[in-house]
Structure 1
Amino acid sequence: MSDKALAWLLLITLSFIWGSSFILIKRGLEVYSPLELGALRIVTAGLFLLPVAVSRIGKLSKRNWQILLLAGFVGSFGPAFLFALAQTHLDSGLAGSLNALTPLFTILIGSWFFSSTFTRRNAIGIAIGFVGTVLLIFAGSDDGISGFNFYALFVVLATIMYATNLNIIKAYLADLKPLTITSVSLLMVLPLALVILASATDFSTKIIYTKGAWEALGYISILGVVGTAIALIIFNKTVQISTPLFTSSVTYIIPLIAVIWGLLDGERLLVTHYISMALILVGVFIGNRR
């Protein structure tokens, strides 16, 4: 298989994995609380990559450790809990669409705090994406609070954290391999996730007495191992054999997969939802063009 064909295969696979993450979160929340789901996601991903992290920690400087700790919180730990909390009142398809804001926030944060170039095209893309986001947030909520879905803001905050993490890695960890960054940053936040799971949740009781607990744990384990750890490996390989521009195409496919899963699961989307999602994707497309 040629590199071009392999790159397309990996891109489609990655899009399916990340686009399916939101329905897995939905399934996990049928039994576990957002706190439990977030902790379990970090624990399963961290334990899966633990051998990799242990083999590489001796090569890191003190400065690396400090930055990787920060990357662990803003790139993995925080978003894991925010997405879980958001999807208690937000359909999985809409969460996947809002996740597409990450590239726009990456540009914005890079220009504000990391001296990245900010163009007029970037500004137009961000403005369009912002309009789409506002419309999506006001497009209705399942709790009927004045049509304003407050929980969508948790996804927006998660994308800001993702964008911050990308800029941190680009600015301070360019000398480290992506697999090292991910495995060690997860190792840094793994102990806290374990503490939360053991002392601040009812996980031990639910896993024994609650019907469907093991099935839900299976969904969350797939989310952590496949959706975080294995997806990263695929992502790194795609970047290696193609270009960053090609790999960024995953941004446009993930919302489509998330919405399809949501519709198959009986989620209802309004015309306003589709218009909002289209605006977000158009904004990302314009904002990312060079």
Structure 2
Amino acid sequence: MTASTPGPRGWARVAVLAALWGSTFLWIDIVLRELAPLQVTFTRCVLGALVLVVACRARGHRLPRGRTVWRQLTVAAFFCNALPFALFSVGQQTVDSGMAGVLNATTPLWSIALGLALGSESRPGPARLAGLLLGFAGTVLVFAPWQSGAATGWGAVAILGAAASYAVAFHYLGRTLVRRGTPTLSLSAAQLVAASGLTAVALPVGGGLAPVDPGPLVVVAALVLGVFCTAVTFHLTCRIINDEGATNAAVVGYLLPVVSVLLGVLLLGEELSARVVLGMAVVLLGVGLTRRAAPAPGRGGVRWPRVRGGRGGPGGRVPAGARGE
């Protein structure tokens, strides 16, 4: 099955995924009112792991075995879950949730830049290079280093670091864990289990062991963040890629920052300046140019590994270890 225009059901999945994924930053903002950043990270990893492990058992899958694969999963969990989750929580102590969603949209740009540095990306053509430069220019516009306050400071740097960490994780996953015959659901569940362990070890740092007494709103926000924004988003991403193809799944990346900005403005009363809107548009335009000019799979593009029990053809391939924020 080749990527095609999704039908009403497919667009509904895209809309739900964008809403869940884009709302991640809203829920982080709420949970941070009473929990420390590492407590937020640990809670998110544990809840997501529990949901995916239960899903694995329900489908008759087992978690991967062997020291080598678990060593690789631990590295992937650090760069794809533990580190970026923690950086988002640290960053959102001073950065609005909408701004965090916009800065998160730079992940594809970091991925291309890293691929060029590692030699895994072919030399970009004029359009793709223009998209890369335009995307980073939009980030600078959002970041506004010439101004004091707003998006400047270590908070924005932490969030950009989280986006870059995702890019490192995707390159590592592509080199080590994909196309090994293990179901994607099993790999993702194991990855969050490993991330939970890594975060538990780091809890004593930064007040992670401080006693907490969260109110009902924070408890609900933590549950939504772990169950829906971490575990369910992964499942929906795989379904979209399986049924409509990876190209259509990428539409979510364009909707995510829009959702995060709107939720921040409507529910948290965050300010929305013309500069941020323009910067967001420039970032998305740059990402769009890099994707439209990207090489086709098989010629330097992303190869989507087949999953056992999935449908045949390109539409039946999903990325092992794909993230759900």
Work out whether the TM-score is over 0.5.
yes
Contact 2:29 2:97 in 1 (8 A): yes
In structure 2, the partner of 1:5 is 8
Residues 146 and 234 of structure 1: is their aligned pair in 2 closer, same or farther, counting only changes over 3 Å?
closer
244-253 vs 198-207, greater mean Cα deviation? 198-207
TM-score w.r.t. the length of structure 2 is: 0.79
Query: What TM-score does the superposition give when structure 1 sets the normalisation length?
Result: 0.88
* Cα displacement (A) at 1:53: 6.2
Instruction: Go from structure 1 to structure 2 and tell me whether the alpha carbon gap of 1:137 and 1:81 turns closer, same or farther (over 3 Å shift).
Output: same
Say which of 108, 112, 123 aligns to 2:113: 108
2:268 paired with 1:262 = no
Shift of the alpha carbon at 1:218?
A: 2.1
- How far has the Cα of 1:148 moved from its partner? 2.9
- Whether the 8 Å CA contact 1:86–1:154 is kept in 2: the answer is yes
Residue 14 and residue 139 in structure 1: after superposition, are their counterparts in 2 closer, same or farther (change >3 A)?
A: farther
Q: What amino acid maps onto 1:133 in structure 2?
A: T
User: How far has the Cα of 1:204 moved from its partner?
Assistant: 6.4
Cα deviation for residue 47 of structure 1 reads 2.3
The answer for the alignment partner of 1:70 in structure 2 is: 75
Q: CA deviation at 1:236?
A: 0.4
- Structure 2 gaps of 5+ residues are 294-325
Matched, 1:246 2:248: yes
The Cα offsets for residues 31-79 of structure 1, whole Å up to 9 and x where unpaired, read as: 112122122111221222234567523x444432222111101001111
2:211 matched to which residue of 1?
Answer: 205
Aligned residues: 282
- Quote the residue 1:272 is aligned against: 275
Say if 1:41 and 1:223, in contact at 8 Å, map to a contact too: yes
Name the residue aligned to 1:24: 27
Shift of 1:270: 1.6
Counterparts of 2:34 and 2:121, CA distance in 1: 43
Alignment counterpart, residue 149 of structure 1, candidates 153, 158, 162:
153
Q: 2:222: which partner in 1? A: 220
Q: From 29, 42, 45, give the equivalent of 2:45.
A: 42
1:236-283 Cα deviation digits (max 9, x unpaired): 010000121111111110011101101112111221111111111111
User: For residue 129 of structure 2, what is the aligned residue in structure 1?
Assistant: 123
Question: Tell me, what secondary structure is at the counterpart of 2:259?
Answer: helix
Residues 184/202 of structure 1: CA separation in 2 closer, same or farther (3 Å cut):
closer
Whole-angstrom CA distance in 1 between matches of 2:110 and 2:151: 25
